[in-house]
Amino acid sequence: MEQYIIKGGNPLVGEVVIGGAKNAALGILAAAIMTDGECLIDNMPNVRDTNVLLQAMEGIGATIDRKGDNEVVISGKNIDSTGDLIVDNEYIRKIRASYYLIGALLGKYRKAQVVLPGGCDIGSRPIDQHIKGFRALGAEVKIEHGMIIAQAEQLVGNRIYLDVVSVGATINIMMAASLAQGNTVIENAAKEPHIVDVANFLNSMGANIRGAGTDVIRIKGVEKFHDTEYSVIPDQIEAGTFMMAAAATRGDVLIKNVIPKHLETISAKLIEIGAEIEESDDAVRVVAAQRLRHTQIKTLPYPGFPTDLHPQFAAMMCRSSGGCEIEETLFENRYKYIEELKKTGGNIEVFQKKAIIKGVPKLCGAHMKAPDLRGGAALVTAALCACGESVIDNTQYIQRGYCGFDETIRSLGGDIWTI
């Protein structure tokens, strides 16, 4: 078991370059097997989840040619479509994005058997909307022995209304419908930046998708896809994590390779609580010289405040002068980080589904366990601004979504080491 050893008290100062968006890359990598040609994908985040997905794709016959840490060439040409196309191993069971292979395989080969998705235990994330969409396109879908089994003689476009906004279902249906006969309309679609990025990638292979980024996506099915080269967008959540770490430690960090439009909600909140934000075309600078002021947030689908930044925001606000109220509307188990954060002296309680934070002058080092990916990032944020030494266990969760997290923090002056 790997641990982080962190000695807090140093403001983060310097520059950080943000990598490709994990949540976009996972959909893009899966979609790349939908062509017999070659897909060159650049700015791919070299994190645990993407590496596990690539391994699973290779296991069903896809050609995976790594050109470096952040570049890969993928082809589905050698996938044996006469078999059952079963995706299952001990690693793929631990990530959420395994389900993207259902949409990709069903769209291209009209069949798929994929293990039920894993991922962080942050709350209920049912796949009923995925199944609803596949069935609306003409597929038979069943769940047996922990596997999702989907098959279809043919896929035919349809009008699909999602009962709840779902990023995963939007991407999955979009992939399958791209190679279906006729037209598909997805209503109440998710609008996150990575939805747009996956749609743009599919279009670069020859798909005909319009409306990504709005709540109505229109897809005209095509017969096949072709070669493409594509660069993944920067990671909004990684950028937001470093923005909050800079503010929490009262530092001065220039965060490069970002799309400031994707960070507007985060920037607005940081300005509201007293941080300074400077934006350029592809960078954001965060400066915080004093204690942060009171605020409140409510997590919502994009363009609202992202649930994946809720824990980091809470950690940052533990040393604020006025505290904070956080209402989590998407994942009921998101608050699991709180008991660990309280070990540092943070005054935070959950009352009527809201986290109530009363700011304290200082936090103290503690031995903590990362409960999940973003909760782990929150504990690192708290440890960086705490007095004394902290130990954080279960850092494998953090490695699922951040590449070289400790190295990047060290480059900014943070005292953090992996053992």
Known catalytic residues are 120
Distances 157 to 27, 31, 399 between C-alpha atoms, Å: 21, 18, 39
Give CA–CA dist 275/287, Å, rounded. Answer: 6
Structure tokens at 298: 């409510």
Give CA–CA dist 320/288, Å, rounded. Answer: 12
Tell me the residue type at 240: G
Q: Please give the radius of gyration of the chain, using alpha carbons only, rounded to the nearest integer.
A: 21
CA 252-257-261 angle, to 5 degrees, is: 90
Candidates 334, 323, 325; CA nearest to 377 is: 334
Distances 378 to 129, 308, 309, 361 between C-alpha atoms, Å: 30, 10, 9, 18
Give CA–CA dist 216/106, Å, rounded. Answer: 22
Distances 326 to 151, 315, 329, 350 between C-alpha atoms, Å: 43, 11, 10, 9
The pairing of beta strand 147-151 with beta strand 111-115 = antiparallel
User: Taking the CA of residue 171 as centre, how many other CA atoms within 13 Å lie in the half-sphere pointing to its CB?
Assistant: 28
Distances 296 to 8, 159, 322, 355 between C-alpha atoms, Å: 26, 38, 10, 10
DSSP at 317: H
Q: Which secondary-structure segment (H or E) carries 17? A: strand 13-17
Tell me the residue type at 347: N
Alpha helix segments (H runs only) across 352-415: 373-384, 396-399, 405-411
